[in-house]
Structure 1
Amino acid sequence: MRNLPFPLVILCLVSIRGYCPLPTTSGVSGTFPQEDYDDYDDTVTSLSPGGGSFQRCDYNPCREGQIPCANLSDSNHCLCPGFTLYDERPGVPDLKSVSWNGSDVVLRWCEPYSQVTSYIVTVGGQEKQRFRRDQRSGAVGEINNITEVCVIAVNDAGQSDRSCMMYQPKDNWALTAGLIGGALGFLLLLLLVILLWRCSRQRK
């Protein structure tokens, strides 16, 4: 090649390159197109040999007495929400209401997306009652003062932060006043009947 004229050397190099195309990156990419994510819905294709698809499990964190989502997933091949494991503290439960039902103060809450073994209810910072992991409501008796009522999720790794509401026993006092008024009215009526009966006997 050293004995050839310089223009002829350039021509040879160009010709050789024409026969050896550079490798391209066609079909190889480190990221997926954005449209692949735009089409995502509640159905996820199974990677099992049998194919098929997974649906979200019929699991409501606020519904009481449910089968654990892990059991539903095993039996129905459905997908559970992203629950944390037993070696992590539970998330905070969602306390929905604290109300008087006529005989007890009743709490209603929703489960966190965590593994839970039980729930603790505190009244005024003191533990009042414990409930099973499948319960989403519970009665804690009477509360006669305005106080903070909280629910805490528990598992083997520890306790969650508290979810709290202030309870004001105005409905309780109204009902108590009604019961006392009814009892006093009944006693007055009974006393009037006794007096009338005694007067009628004295006349006779």
Structure 2
Amino acid sequence: MAATRNALTTVICLLLFAGSISQPTTNQWPRTNWTDVLRPRASEDLEIPPDAYYEQEDDITTVSSKTVLTNDGMSKKCDYNPCEENQPPCGELAATNKCLCPGSTSDLEAPRPPFLKTATWSGSEVVLRWCSPYSFVKAYKVTVGGKERQIFGSDRRNGGVGPIETVSEVCLVATNDAGDSEGSCMMYKPGDGNLPIKAGLIGGALGLLLLLLLAILLWRRRRQRRVQNNSSFSA
């Protein structure tokens, strides 16, 4: 009996000892921190290199400065019509009213070419009309057939150049101390301008001729009546 108890005790002790070796405790399993797994590393939070960051800062600063320039007092255009006479130059308007002259050049550069609009016959001479360039201009020169014909002041936008009897090229040049602009030219044909005058003269001559014929017919009719009356009294 005693031997049996000793054997059972030995078996139980062996089983307990084997179980303690083969089964690991919960403290022996490696722990996994899921918060650390899901959270990105510090190097992955911002993948923008420092240079690119400063470039973005520069872009933001540039946009801000453009907005300031656009909203200041120099954003409006000057009330200037390049085809209108007797008005101050656009540069003077810009200095006085703090406005902008689009693309205007200074007196250190030769002017841009003006725009010659028309060359028409007025009855006694050919009259030119033009628009000024956005440049500093001291005078305008007119050439007819390559020869200088007339000079006008910088505030003029039209002027007569006398009669032109043959088909000729008429050119207008803007000038200042720095030089002359390219010419703005057109061909002038005298027949086109004189045609209305000739038509008027012909019409007037025909009218006078009709009045003269009518006067002759009335005179002959009165004369016939007088002859008839005289013959009746004689009978």
TM-score (norm 1): 0.66
Which structure has the higher relative contact order (CA within 8 Å, separation 6+)? 1
Q: CA deviation at 1:155?
A: 0.6
Q: In terms of mean alpha carbon deviation, does 116-125 or 80-89 score higher?
A: 80-89
Contact 2:74 2:100 in 1 (8 A): no
Identity %: 45
1:101-180 alignment runs, 5 A limit: 101-180=122-201
Given candidates 35, 40, 44, the residue that maps to 2:70 is 44
Please identify which structure carries the higher strand content.
1
Q: CA deviation at 1:141?
A: 2.8
- CA–CA distance in structure 2, aligned partners of residues 33 and 128 of structure 1: 57
Residue 90 of structure 1: aligned partner: 111
- CA–CA distance in structure 2, aligned partners of residues 32 and 150 of structure 1: 52
Contact 2:120 2:193 in 1 (8 A): no
> Which deviations, in whole Å up to 9, do the C-alpha atoms of 1:163-196 show, x marking residues without a partner?
1011122332312322431453365367558867
TM-score (norm 2): 0.58
Residues 127 and 32 of structure 1: CA distance in aligned 2, closer, same or farther (over 3 Å): farther
Give unmatched runs, 5+ long, in structure 1.
1-22, 47-51
Larger Rg: 2
- CA–CA distance in structure 1, aligned partners of residues 149 and 219 of structure 2: 52
Please identify which structure carries the higher helix content.
2
Contact 1:93 1:109 in 2 (8 A): yes
Query: What is the one-letter code of the residue matched to 2:167?
Result: I
- CA–CA distance in structure 2, aligned partners of residues 200 and 141 of structure 1: 51
CA RMSD of aligned residues (A): 3.5
Give unmatched runs, 5+ long, in structure 2.
1-48, 227-235
Q: CA deviation at 1:151?
A: 0.3
Q: CA deviation at 1:157?
A: 1.6
Contact 1:84 1:90 in 2 (8 A): yes
Contact 1:95 1:164 in 2 (8 A): yes
